[in-house]
Amino acid sequence: MTATNTVASQVMWNRLISVVEEQAQALIRTAFSTSVREAGDLSAGVYDREGRMLAQAVTGTPGHVNSMAASVGHFIREIGVEAMEEGDVYITNDPWKGTGHLHDITVVTPSFHGGALIGFFACTAHVVDIGGRGFGADSNSVFEEGLRMPIMYFARKGEVDRTLVQIMRANIREPDQVVGDVYALAACNEIGHRRLIAMLEEFGIPDLTEIAAFILDNSHRATVERIAALTPGTASHTMTIDGFATPVDLVVSLEIMADRIHSDFSGTSPVDPKGINVPLVYTEAYAAYALKCAIAPDIPNNAASLAPFTVSAPDGCILNATDPAPVALRHVIGHMVPDTIFGALDQLVPDLVPAEGAGSLCNFQVSIRPRTDVEATPDARRSEVLMFNSGGAGARPSLDGLNATAFPSGVMTMPVEATEHTGPVIIWRKELRDGSGGAGRQRGGVGQIIELSAAEGHQCDISAMFDRVRHPARGRKGGLEGGATVFTVDDGTPLAGKGRQAVPPGHRVVMHLPGGAGYGDPAERDREALKRDVERGYLTRDDAIRDYGIDPLA
């Protein structure tokens, strides 16, 4: 390839990334659910004719993007390239062929140019409801978790399948939001397709063949070079987390080889009876993401840059749950995979990875209904309100952990105003939780305190999706653990970290979300940084004296 062609190919690569970012932003602008519109729980990407991901949007979550990278291949095999036509739109929420649970809907659109199939656009969004028992850990099999759509047509040659829409509306508690989100998914793929065709015409090329080869060859070579620069070796690590009724052990053996890194999860706890299990595709997504963040963070995500990070896990373990295991809260366990891998990687490449953090998103869903113990208000109604929140991230070797920030998911904390707009719920308090960041030379990020209730005339159940209640984040290199999750009614009655629970009418629930752990000996923390922590409310003066052994304000 000539220098001129190389420059042109690089320009087109960058253009493809901007195309899929516009695709993602179109989804955010048109989505009905706050989980997409406010939290950014979505993904968007473009694929070549063989179903290999060429570029992903910057906006979105690695669990969606990296697992969606494998999903287009399922669509190609089940629909068949020969059956695909312009105007088609395909859909699924199959956990094992999409992104890991029924609440994620994946939409794939074939892209044609000059009458020929040249590639695909795909996107995923988390929807507020999919029927069944509702979003939570209480189910005993995937059949209880809601409506399951196999890979099928949402639209054929531009004509939407009205029967499918009717089935969705009849099985979902928030049909307007969910059906609206599906149309938004289809629309954002169409935006991506239009921008791609404009790019091809501008550069005078018929398809994606040459640019795909350029992207995939360069990405794979660059990633392998980063791996080859490491010292080969093997290390193992175990992390214990809450689970549902019993603790879960995540066990990894990490092997750095000349051209790839393999994560083997043999020894990990078996499938759980409740809905916290993880399909392998989701485990693969977060394992690859963790290693890519640590080793090759600046190489764009695509099929080739992900390929050198391989994963194995025994069938029937909680990180390789097979159909029909319940998987609704696969993220609560799956988000802990990066911290488990970092524990092993730290033994092989010291001073690179952070201490443990909150890990999983601190989600909850509130099911609200008119009050039954007293007369309900005339405007009382039923509603499902989903809220995404974050604990603190682990401290890094040279930087403090980020406060109330979701790592590894990257999902944004949802604003109070947007949440209250979706249903009759009141957020009475939402603030940083002082003292929850683990002490260390670098302090762990602090979590949040959230207090909420149903609005007047209503009562509610809350479906909790928390971890780190009994097993808080652990420090690294002498750093102290982060604050544990605390979940109670406002009268102090404890609530379980996972599962659907009734909130006594007229009461509030109070959530103290977990903090990230510290990195390094607390005695080595800079005194001015400690004073700044106290002044900003990240910890109290008494916390500083207890954990660091000095009074920063003296």
Distance CA 12, CA 73 (A): 24
Quick one: what percent of the chain has pLDDT higher than 70?
99
Q: Where are the alpha helices (DSSP H) in 43-174?
A: 62-79, 162-171
Locate 270 and state its tokens.
């078996």
Q: What is the pLDDT of residues 325-345, one digit of tens each?
A: 999 999 999 999 999 999 999
- pLDDT for 354 equals 98
Quick one: what percent of the chain has pLDDT higher than 90?
92
- Residue 19, pLDDT > 90, answer yes
CB 426 within 8 A of CB 383: no
What is the overall mean pLDDT for the chain?
96
Q: What is the pLDDT of residues 453-475, one digit of tens each?
A: 999 999 999 999 999 999 999 99
- Every domain of the chain and the residues it spans: 3-219, 354-554
Burial class of residue 498 in the structure, from the number of CB atoms within 10 Å of its CB (0-12 exposed, 13-18 middle, 19+ buried): buried
SS3 (DSSP) at 17 = helix
Partner residues linked to 442 by β-bridges: 519
Tell me, what amino acid is at 393? A
Partner residues linked to 364 by β-bridges: 387, 464
- pLDDT for 60 equals 85
- pLDDT for 363 equals 93
- Residue 4, pLDDT > 70, answer no
Distance CA 496, CA 372 (A): 24
Average pLDDT over residues 5-15: 92
Q: What is the pLDDT of residues 397-429, one digit of tens each?
A: 999 999 999 899 999 888 899 999 999 999 999
Q: Give me the DSSP letters along 219-253.
A: HHHHHHHHHHTSPPEEEEEEEEE--SSS-EEEEEE
CA dist 255 → 198, 258, 319 (Å): 44, 10, 18
CA dist 225 → 220, 221, 318, 347 (Å): 9, 6, 33, 21
Q: What is the pLDDT of residues 481-495, one digit of tens each?
A: 999 999 999 999 999
Average pLDDT over residues 132-139: 96
Q: Tell me which residue of 211, 197, 206, 194 sits closest to 23, measured CA to CA.
A: 194
Locate 386 and state its tokens.
């989903």
Q: Tell me which residue of 437, 448, 407, 447 sits closest to 530, measured CA to CA.
A: 437
- Residue 2, pLDDT > 60, answer no
Using the 8-state DSSP alphabet, how is residue 151 labeled? S
Give the pLDDT band of residue 64 (cuts 50, 70, 90): confident
- Helix (H), strand (E) at residue 155: strand 152-156
Reduced 3-state DSSP string for 403-462: CCCCCCCCCCCCCHHHHHHHCCEEEEEEEECCCCCCCCCECCCCCEEEEEEECCCEEEEE
Distance CA 402, CA 51 (A): 36
SS3 (DSSP) at 96 = coil
Distance CA 441, CA 548 (A): 9
- Residue 77, pLDDT > 70, answer yes
Average pLDDT over residues 163-170: 98
CA dist 523 → 479, 515, 527, 549, 550 (Å): 10, 20, 9, 7, 9
Q: What is the pLDDT of residues 377-395, one digit of tens each?
A: 889 999 999 999 999 999 9
SS3 (DSSP) at 78 = helix
CB 462 within 8 A of CB 365: yes
Average pLDDT over residues 240-249: 98
Residue with the larger pLDDT of the pair 376 and 95: 95
Q: What angle do CA 159, 160, 166 make, to 5 degrees?
A: 145
